Structure 1
Amino acid sequence: MASPSPKSPEQSEKTKQYDRQLRLWGDHGQSALEHGHICLINATALGTEVLKSIVLPGVGAVTIVDDKTVSDEDIGSNFFLECSSKGLNRGSETLRLLLELNPAVQGHAVQEPPDQILKENPEFFKSFSVVIATTLSEQTIQDLSQHLWDINVPLILCRSVGFLGSFRIQMREHAVVETHPDNEQTDLRLDYPFQALSDFLDSFDIDAVDLKDHGHIPWIVIIYKAIQKWKDSNQNRWPMSRKEKNEIKAIIEGFIRKDENGIPINEENFEEALKAVNTALMPTFLPLKSQELLYCSAATNLTKESTPFWIMCSALRGFVEGEGKGKLPVKGILPDMTASTDHYIKLQNLYRTQAAMDTEIVYRKVQQIVAQLHCDNISEAEVKLFCRHAHDLHLISGSSIVSEYQLTSSVASYIARYLEEPDVMMIHYVLLRAAEMFTSEHCRAPGDTEPEGDIPKLKACVTKVLGDVSCPPFPKDDHVQEMCRYGGAEIHSVSAFLGGCVAHEAIKIVTKQYKPVNNTFIYDAASTNTATFTF
């Protein structure tokens, strides 16, 4: 047999470079990342750390919007700036050194303030997969977030001040098909076996199998036979309780062969069967989250503007109501087990074939919907991926930053509820908002020039934020004093940690894999505590 042709040098080098991340999100995830375009507004220490962790895994392109020149403070906190960079454009200098990390990434620098771009060229932001912004004024934050909300471009707003950091993700809607759950449920269908599986399982007679083959029976067969024996004396019910599952285990133990002295023979496949009873007996059902998605208005009232996710949800609902008989498509994934090669491959092919048949039905329904709506085609690969992960679909329906900054009644009550508890992370959120208010009023960070003198001014901002949410002032000034002591400075270690977190979230959004934070993350480096809030 001729040996397979070797991969091209470009492919092998790329696979070697991105090996670890390919294990996380696969070839299709890497392809999505390489087609992504990230915009960073302001190349601060935090912003640069974010881009570093996006450039290294190979995002397609990055654009830095920054009209500032490099200062001594920038050189002191940003490892991607040199002494020779002083006086030059901060975005261009940062980009030049960042791109050295990965020559495959394209880079652009725009030397204009973001508020000017919003006024003169608002279409500029439409081409980006995600916009990441740091150190913006309150007004610019609201103008930018409203514009990006209107054009449906995700925004991540970041802050790093002293030992505090936070980020806020704004997305109108974000659907995740590949959520990568920590404990993915098996889909064996032993309670409702499809015909080919039923024929295969029924073909075994455990008592009649030769001793040499007894240790090669797949544990799925062993559990199925135990269930059938149990059901014969239990009115054909499905075992659910712990007592009933223990009865199944007792039946399996009865299948184990014994030697001439009556001692059970140690067979690995039967040990696996005993361990797998709890997961294998999980009944096949339509998960509540999947049910909510399939029957929500976005899936039942499709239009030409409907996204592929909702079109596939609609097609999947048709499958569940029809051919699936109330159940989702078979996943087609078989767990590892001790078995003969012939038995395992045959069993594996049964599940794969059934999964392919179910996917084909859903794909035909998708094509019918696409033809009726006259919208863009959806590939068979997309439908296959959707059906494979239909048990763990996840949807985030976000809220705008503008509504948060305007402190609507729901946001105000949410903040007030968390502030009722002592030593909660919501205090840091209030401080960061108050610091933004201070900066907008005084055109500098609190404590930048006179830490002691700024304490009452910052306290007044804190009191205003608290008053807007109908909460009393802080009993002590400790947090306010600490914020003034920071003087608006960025500590590189804090920015590096938070930058890595933000980069992870941006990659989740671009690849549409893993669940991103919804929607605010707070980090206190002094106590190493973190918290998430959903405004």
Structure 2
Amino acid sequence: MTTTAPLSERPSAHTQRYDRQLRLWASSGQASLEKSNILVVGASALSAQILKNLVLPGIGAFTILDHRTVDPASLGTNFFLQPGHSEGKPAAAEIARLLAELNDGVKANATVESPADLLARQPGFFTAFDLVISVDQPRAFDLALSDLCWAQQPPSPHIPFLRVASAGMVGQLSLSVHQVAIVETHPDSIVDLRLTRPFPELQALADSFDLDTPDTMLHSHIPMVVILLNKLKQWRQSHGGALPTTADRAAFAALVNASRRPDSPDAENFDEAIAALGKHVWRPIASDGVGGGGVPPEVADMFKQPECLEVGPNSTNFWLLVRALRDFVAASPTHSLPLSGSLPDMKATSEIYVRLQACYRAKAAADLAEFTRILDDVVAAAGVAAGAVGGDEVLAFVKHAGYLKLIRGRSERQRYEAPDGSVAAMAFMDPVNPSTFQHHVALSASDAFFEKHGRYPGSTLAFSRTISGGGEPGGGAGTGEGVASTTTTTTTTTTTTTTTTTTTTTTTTTTTNKEGAASVPSEGDETTRSAKRHKSETPTRDGIGGAGEEVDMVVDDSSSSSSSQTTMRRRGGQVDADAEGDVDVEGDTEALLALAAEWTHRHAPSLKDDEESWDKIRDAVAELLPATTALLGGIVAQETIKLITRQYVPADNTVVYDGIQQAVGVFRL
């Protein structure tokens, strides 16, 4: 007869939905994710890919900020738009609406307004979010927004700012965070056997075993922990209390093997003992106990930080815990960290393994109780309310006390004005890994080119505005200077892009241009060089790129470089000099390389004659490709989740992706 488990024992629908990721960051990380509120500036294919990878894991809410409408070019590159339905409507609202269908537990919002206008008029809008991601926006706008996020002071939480830039098969992510303290760094293992610093109860248990026992069955089931503890004690007794050194490795291994039974076919426990020497004996000995109860240098450095030395009412839980850890280590007879209590599988009888496990768990429980007592004293002395640090948080901290990670970041402006030149030099001279840093230089030069000319290299002014909607060079306002209009999964918007009037209904979303409909460009007959022809309707601003005007974008495939160079020709309407006729690709390339050379001469002078680097920089700027948006979107979402959950170690502070070489470089600039 079969029985059905009670409903109370079955996983909830929530657990079933997020089962796989709960195994990665547990319920605590999922709870942080579900409380998060994220802003994405810029409605593009890359923005949609980033948010897709955040909506599916279940963030709490997101808002897309952009004033632009969906044009035919967007429909060709963004799979989160609907041909025949999305065209002419606000891109932010359409992407938010369609992304919301992926997870009904996520609140989707869209604000249809120029990001630059909103930043100038209502900066408080941006500080209401837990994290801000700016996608392909002008550098001047990003610097201003980064400064705003960076300026938040306690008790207000710091707002991480992520800047994403992309071009062709190249992408870059820059992270601006004041301070990131990670407890659950997820190392390969948190096992701490304390073989070189045994506590009395553990040594007493090991002493109760006889390695020379005539019982063959018992001899083959003595745990490797007991074998090594006995041999280390034997070594100390014959060497004046000293542990074996690196030069003694062979001699100590021979001492362990001396207790093997030559007539016993089963010596798996001794094989395990020899295999454990590297991680649990030699590493702690070589690093003053690190990995065996000792304090790692990075954790010891935290003990010296002002936040640890001077805790107070505004101290974060992390620094209260670090202060308690410092006091715990100082009070420990062996100056050791709290024991995690984890024990790996090993050859032993069930009865022996349970005894050994109970010994470790009892010590871990005693350390946890002592740590909690010290923490209570620290919290009281700091003037923080009792119970401010929860029991689960304390337990996680104690288990990971030897693997804490503290990142003190740099702002976007600091990296822009004073990047670490030594990092740049080393990045270009790496003899093993593929070089990716040239793409950072190229993207920086492209930003400088935009600030100087109001467009990106190889593109017209109008086409550049289809890529970046943050505003004019220098942080000026962009198009769509109307009233902010927000949509959610239950509220939609009607917007006209050439007036300042915005209406809201609760049933439909309709957007028209100034002529009442989005016009479709006709097929052109001009060709330039040997090329493929692409067409795009461009947004309007000051009479540039109005409805019905046509842009023929010609991609030159004759170059031997891995990324295409782009020229654009406009027909109809009055445009400024930069947008008329063909773009001077060769001239733009030379200007771009001059700006790149200026960057390197200022920040990494040793690279000024590196012609190979210039060749790579020349290849770095091109139009965005769907494959790049998908992979780069995953990278950005992954780093976002690390920052929200405070688990795993985030990148510090610049990530460059090279789709040509399939390489990713991480640089601290």
- TM-score, normalised relative to structure 2: 0.73
Aligned to 1:70: 70
User: Which shows bigger deviation, 188-197 or 305-314?
Assistant: 188-197
Q: Structure 1 residues 214, 6: CA separation in 2 closer, same or farther (over 3 Å shift)?
A: farther
Does residue 505 (structure 1) correspond to residue 509 (structure 2)? The answer is no
Task: Give, as a single letter, the amino acid of the residue that structure 1 aligns with 2:298.
Answer: K
Kept after mapping to 2: 8 A contact 1:394/1:515: yes
**2:413 equivalent among 402, 423, 440:** 402
Matches of 1:163 and 1:208 in 2, distance apart? 66
* Counterpart code for 1:425: T
Is the 2:133–2:161 contact (alpha carbons within 8 Å) kept by the matching residues of 1? Answer: yes
Partner of 1:95: 96
Question: Alignment partner for residue 425 of structure 1, among 436, 456, 461?
Answer: 436
SS in 2 for 1:403: helix
Shift, 1:379, TM fit: 1.2
CA contact (8 A) 2:36 2:61 kept: yes
- State the Cα distance separating 1:108 from its structure 2 match: 1.2
8 Å contact 1:447–1:483 — kept in the other structure? no
User: In the alignment, which of 150, 169, 188 is matched to residue 163 of structure 1?
Assistant: 169
Structure 2 runs not aligned, ≥5 long: 153-157, 461-566, 569-582
Contact 2:212 2:259 in 1 (8 A): yes
What is the letter of the counterpart of residue 490 of structure 1?
L
With 417-426 and 14-23 compared, the bigger mean Cα shift is at 417-426
Q: Are 1:239 and 2:373 matched, yes or no? A: no
Change in 2 beyond 3 A, CA 1:220/1:473: closer
User: After superposition, what is the alpha-carbon deviation per residue over 1:218-239, rounded to whole angstroms, capped at 9, x for unaligned?
Assistant: 1111111222223332222212
Q: 1:512-532 deviations in whole A, cap 9, x for unaligned?
A: 111111111112212223322
Tell whether 2:39 aligns with 1:39: yes
Query: Would the aligned equivalents of 1:418 and 1:424 in 2 still touch at CA under 8 Å?
Result: yes
SS of match in other structure, 1:317: helix
- Give the structure with the higher percent helix: 1
Is 1:362–2:371 an aligned residue pair?
yes
SS for the counterpart of 1:265 is coil
Q: Find the structure with the greater CA-based Rg.
A: 2
Residues 413-442 of structure 1, C-alpha deviation per residue, up to 9 Å, x if partnerless?
654675688994332212212222333344
Q: Secondary structure at the match of 1:318?
A: helix
Distance 1:518 1:333 in 2: 30
Q: Give the match's secondary structure for 1:286.
A: coil
**Does the CA-based 8 Å contact 2:197-2:334 persist in structure 1?**
no
1:21-420 equivalence runs, <5 A: 21-83=21-83, 84-151=85-152, 152-182=158-188, 184=189, 186-208=191-213, 210-242=215-247, 244-258=248-262, 263-281=263-281, 282-283=284-285, 284=289, 285-323=294-332, 325-375=334-384, 377-405=388-416, 407-408=417-418, 411=420, 415=424
Segment of structure 1 superposing worse, 349-358 or 511-520: 349-358
Deviations 1:255-285 (A, max 9, x none): 2334xxxx33323222222222333323432
Evaluate the alpha carbon distance shift between residue 198 and residue 417 of structure 1 in structure 2; reply closer, same or farther with a 3 A threshold: closer
Deviation at 1:8, TM superposition (A): 6.3
CA change 1:461–1:63 in 2 (3 A) is same
Q: Which residue of 1 aligns with 2:553?
A: none
* Equivalent pair of 1:186/1:280 in contact (CA under 8 Å): no
Q: Helix, strand or coil for the counterpart of 2:151?
A: helix
State the alpha-carbon separation in 1 of the partners of residues 216 and 168 from structure 2: 70
CA apart distance, 1:197 = 1.5
CA distance in 1, matches of 2:123, 2:268: 65
1:150 CA drift (Å)? 0.8
Q: Does residue 1:532 correspond to 2:666, yes or no?
A: yes
CA distance in 2, matches of 1:277, 1:419: 38
Task: State the shift of 1:310 in Å.
Answer: 1.3
Shift of residue 391, structure 1, vs aligned partner: 0.8
- Aligned CA distance change for structure 1 residues 138 and 236 (closer, same or farther; 3 Å): closer
1:402 is displaced (CA, Å) by 1.1
Q: 2:594 aligns with which of 440, 457, 463?
A: 463
CA distance in 2, matches of 1:107, 1:8: 33
Distance 2:249 2:191 in 1: 17
1:126 counterpart letter in structure 2: T
What is the CA–CA distance in structure 2 between the aligned matches of 1:331 and 1:359, rounded to whole Å?
9
Counterpart of 1:250 in structure 2: which amino acid? A
Deviates more, 1:52-61 or 1:358-367: 358-367
1:490-532 superposed Cα distances (whole Å, 9 cap, x missing partner): 2110111111011110011111111111111112212223322
TM-score (norm 1): 0.90
SS of equivalent residue, structure 1 residue 101:
coil
Aligned to 2:467: none
When residues 246 and 157 of structure 1 are mapped into structure 2, their CA distance, relative to the original with a 3 A threshold, is: same
Kindly indicate whether the alpha-carbon contact (under 8 Å) linking 2:313 and 2:383 is maintained by their aligned counterparts in 1. yes
Please tell me the residue identity of whatever aligns with 1:523.
Answer: Y
CA 1:370–1:121: 2 relative to 1, 3 Å: farther
**RMSD in angstroms over aligned alpha carbons?**
2.6
Say if 1:379 and 1:439 are closer, same or farther in 2 by CA, change over 3 A.
Answer: same
SS of structure 1 residue aligned to 2:101: helix
Bigger shift: 511-520 or 323-332? 323-332
Q: Secondary structure at the match of 2:266?
A: coil
**For the structure 1 residues 467 and 122, does the alpha-carbon distance in structure 2 shift closer, same or farther, using more than 3 Å as the test?**
same
The CA deviation at 1:474 is 7.8
The alignment covers a number of residue pairs equal to 522
* AA of the residue aligned to 1:143: A
Aligned counterparts of 2:91 and 2:361: Cα–Cα separation in 1: 54
Instruction: Return 11-20 or 338-347, whichever deviates more.
Output: 11-20
Counterpart AA for 2:72: D
Instruction: Answer yes or no: is the 8 Å Cα contact 1:226–1:251 preserved in 2.
Output: yes
Change (3 A) 1:54 1:210: same
Q: Residue 537 of structure 2 corresponds to which residue in structure 1?
A: none
Measure, in 2, the Cα distance between the counterparts of 1:482 and 1:272.
53
Following the alignment from structure 1 to structure 2, what is the Cα–Cα distance between the partners of residues 416 and 340?
Answer: 57
- State the alpha-carbon separation in 1 of the partners of residues 92 and 597 from structure 2: 36
**Alignment match, 1:518:** 652
What is the CA–CA distance in structure 1 between the aligned matches of 2:435 and 2:198, rounded to whole Å? 51
Q: Contact 2:195–2:229 at 8 Å: present in 1 too?
A: yes
Alpha-carbon distance in structure 2 between the residues aligned to 1:62 and 1:277: 50
CA contact (8 A) 2:295 2:337 kept: yes
Q: Deviations over 1:267-310 (max 9, x none)?
A: 32222222223333234322111111112222112232222111
Alpha-carbon distance in structure 2 between the residues aligned to 1:201 and 1:453 = 79
Cα distance in 1 for partners of 2:22, 2:50 equals 20
CA 1:413/1:214 → structure 2, altered by over 3 Å: closer, same or farther? closer
| Structure 1 unmatched runs, 5+ | none
SS class of match (1:207): coil
* Cα distance, 1:173 vs structure 2: 0.5
Report the 3-state secondary structure (helix = DSSP H, G, I; strand = E; otherwise coil) of the residue aligned with 2:340.
coil
